[in-house]
A and B are shown apart, each in its own frame.
Chain A
């Protein structure tokens, strides 16, 4: 039995993953335990979890793999500073002390931290380093259901690479092409995220959600001035407009002058039609880059399968377009596409690449186990915890619970749904979710403002039974990780009249656009999760029952958290969030809690508890 621990840390989204003989056993992000969104610290809690979950001590682990190479990163930093000198001295003087004190000595630092888990761990040579984009590529290809595939990784930056194209065949990954820093599609998107007043590395989803409210008026300007995009999808950015290579901001004065507006001040300035048009423009440019890149690679390699990872692979609108344009026959996306997934990729890369182990043909779905790789809790633990928290609860058997939840969903109740192992990756997939009735007219606004305390423009995603997918949406592919966007079927769309069409921006939100308005975005699109009985049988049963009673096989599924808060992990987290929001019901496994029955003294002012993202 070969046990490999993968670690990603120190930049954003620290995480740990454990594989045993190549099988993915568990994985979790540190933020879920520390309750600090995108926590970048050494993932002590996540490592503790993956070890305990398999009853292992650290000294029993055979190999430990860090997801990137610090020396290579340091080389990039030094060369970038030299290339831009004397510009960037401030950033240089801030980053060098951290590097010279800590980051350069990462092996020793990791060793010291790892020893805290188990004093008997004393072999520093067990620590290995993978490359950032190789880790992403490994996380995208090895768990996929394909024997061979093109692998594309797109993100901000790792060591040098920002975009890579590789070919995966059996247990081998061969890198074909790379684009190097500072030319990066991820950083281009993040620059616009910053310019629109959202947080870099976390607000990118908001830009994507905002885009359908605008018109891509600035697309030509971006393509003419900011980026030199070639027909094969390769590109160079015009660094005259960006400040991220050496500065402390993403964009500079030239960038603001180009669009005739200063960068939006977060929380102070309101979002206007200009911001929506900018969001639409950068989204459209991103889609064009991704489509050009995938088209040229498909033609060049003649391979029918595509795997993707890296932060940009979470851009589900662009992913949907790859599928719609039939560029590849099959598409598989790593659910933990961000840096957290690098921990899993690093471990898998070591197993197949360094140890040369054979790869058996994966199961038809994939090897991710539905991405349910985090902690779960037994009934005794839940009961004890709820009692200690002073909660009032009842315990139902599964059938009664499901019947009851369906009735309450029909009554337009919002429900915290806490079941089984926590998801790995940024999406809630029915294990730590807030669920509601998608047919309700008021649900989108109510969930955004009263439950999630977030911006009213943000859309909600549907979970749907896999077998019913094609009856409701314009797509017929498994999308278990909510990483593809497709349109709601024409027959359930409600066409806009002439007056509705004239509406601009956020006003579009008030029009009912389909028979499932809570999950239909203003452009009739939806970010879909297909639910499969093999990976989440309880959630599947709930959807099936909801369909039997209402005829609708769909539920609203949003992550169980509020704005700025990591998704809940434990029973305590879920009870705290339940008592701090306007959620009506909380379901933890077979335990059910009603808001009106709880002690009023336990209600919390939760809205400003977390730093806004």
Chain B
């Protein structure tokens, strides 16, 4: 009896359900992807899935195109999101909180519903669906994830740093380029992680907003898996995981503690 009480009173015990969940639904599938990716159809170890990817022009092209779209989306999000975050950070906290709320509110609606609404909007305005619509949809969906971390960093920035720069002779523009912007980099990095990574792997937005005319890498993976090409699909997923991993590594190396400052979570 005493042992049981002791067991349940330990903090470690309480993390067990989540650890189990993580193991079954996150770690195991990831391992499965790795195993499948390096397996031939007959079950033996092979690199043939990766060879297929390199030699099959179509998958490779989709892959490069997807990264291109993700880069463009991220860039547009930075260009639109930074000024928005900057203006927000200058507002009174109470006002800013309401506006941030308005930015985040649409996020509570399912991404498919939002995208279908976008399709309807383009229809209504008789605008063609396609690449432009795709980028619009991506930016529309992911912009809040760029604004929020940047806003967070700007808002927490020690105001005396700005005053110190002014005091040392910096014009308002120099204050921005030499102090505010460099110090908001952790927020931008967080924003990139929140936007770039999900955009590489989306497929629903691409399908709906381009009437299935443009394929993104996510779509390719989905198609392969749907068609029973488990090993090839796993290999493609594996490649994407590596790209995401590399992005994290690249952006995360900036500064351990400042990266946390801008986190959305």
Decide whether A and B assemble into one complex: no
Chain B residues near A (Cβ < 8 Å): none
Chain A residues near B (Cβ < 8 Å): none
